Structure 1
């Protein structure tokens, strides 16, 4: 197989780990902004005939999209054999329907645009709600990796705890984690009036008296679902509450509010760089990346 090189747009800790997993060097480039806000970019590594892997978490995507496109297209322009995108967190999946007349279906617009600049996509737990797969909007080969097994492994062996899913949509996900980790779980009922107006109600927790509660979610964005979950658990006098999630966006600095609300531990993967990162997703990304590269080389 042709040589590979990995580049980081904004995911240095994950790229350092992936570089070891894939046994490939980290590419170097120089970027900065001109006084008028335009971007400057210079690739410093030799990339001709090289499979280039760009890792970029796409939380807060508006400020990252142009720098990402400049990086992807410059690598191609300099003769890279392929340019793939590893986006541990994939944005613009929320608006998958025109709910009100005149709305942009931004998930389709974003996917069609991004597909024009990459040869393949690898991502972790994208928000597939009305779409059955990314193939419905992305026109390039893609691999969706599940983060649940990593959370299950982190939980495995931890005694005297039970898992909490905030709503019915999370039940299938939570049950698969609980099956591997060996813990009991409960599922709440969520009533969402708006992005920041959420109420979670929990079933009777009498069977879990004296146990630690671990709230499990795929994404923590505004954090209001988790805050409501903490409040509901406190009504049952749960003394120790932890939270684990795959993606930690923590809009408006809500991570500080979560700790202040009573979390004893906040755990995320390094899909988005944050002090709460305690679970490395590189081990589950390496194989899908190698599979994509093998297909590009015409290997089964």
Structure 2
């Protein structure tokens, strides 16, 4: 068996335990100590000679997490790791994929270069790719992007009767269609107009045909919740039952969850890419299979 070690960011121990059990690997917590001046001390296991070390941690708070991540990767190599990989179920800095206004940094390219310099491989789930078709357009290390469609479809098959899948915008159509195809369910896509970070309006096609279905709003990232809340309101105005809101990555910043609940959503559900009380959909089987492939094992 490969001598692999999962090295886990604080807060993702439950995911680490399940993933380590599924793969037959050891795991340990990454030790972080924050000093009053904002600097951080990072401690990894002292003897990593010949081991494949895989850092595990979603990058939902990238300003706070990225430096400790880089320090840990560098320390692992200094202490003898033969390979250093990263599992970031949620991968940050993919929205800024072009210069939208003069002088803006294209942070997706910079972030990809920084991570590529520190890791031999990267494993993530449902990255927010728009102008990039594949991660290897900007990542130089081996970068694997998994789709969450199988996990979403499995949960919906068991939990929602007669689902009508609803994508929040045109960007969401390919993977909304993929989940719908796995379920054999119909789907529609909304049109979205964003006036600002927290001001969104949506329109929807004729839904009279689907009044006997349960609408399921799907999104890759739930951040402020405003787009999904607006969609919930429009679906209810159209005479459909209260929708189920499903997201892969539950950032749910500030009052986002309260906003969704106040909008009349029947349920808010997410995957365990980021620890959150809404976690219901398990990504461990997908991650375990891909990780074993990256490390070079098969079962």
Aligned counterparts of 1:44 and 1:275: Cα–Cα separation in 2: 30
SS at match of 1:27: strand
**TM-superposition CA deviations, 1:202-224 (whole Å, max 9, x none):** 11221122432111111111211
> Per-residue deviation at 1:29?
4.1
SS at match of 2:31: strand
Where do 1:1-300 residues align within 5 Å? 1-10=1-10, 11-44=12-45, 46-157=47-158, 158-294=160-296
SS at match of 1:239: coil
> Per-residue deviation at 1:5?
0.8
**TM-superposition CA deviations, 1:196-249 (whole Å, max 9, x none):** 221111112211224321111111112111011011012113232211111111
Unaligned runs of 5+ in 1: none
SS at match of 2:240: coil
Q: What is the aligned residue count?
A: 296
> Per-residue deviation at 1:46?
3.4
Residue 215 of structure 1 contacts residue 226 of structure 1 at CA under 8 Å; is this kept in 2?
A: yes
> Per-residue deviation at 1:44?
3.5
**TM-superposition CA deviations, 1:98-125 (whole Å, max 9, x none):** 2222111111111111111111101111
**TM-superposition CA deviations, 1:5-46 (whole Å, max 9, x none):** 101114222111111111111124432112222212222463
Residue 165 of structure 2 contacts residue 185 of structure 2 at CA under 8 Å; is this kept in 1?
A: yes
Aligned counterparts of 1:214 and 1:132: Cα–Cα separation in 2: 26
Unaligned runs of 5+ in 2: none
Cα RMSD (Å) of the superposition? 1.7
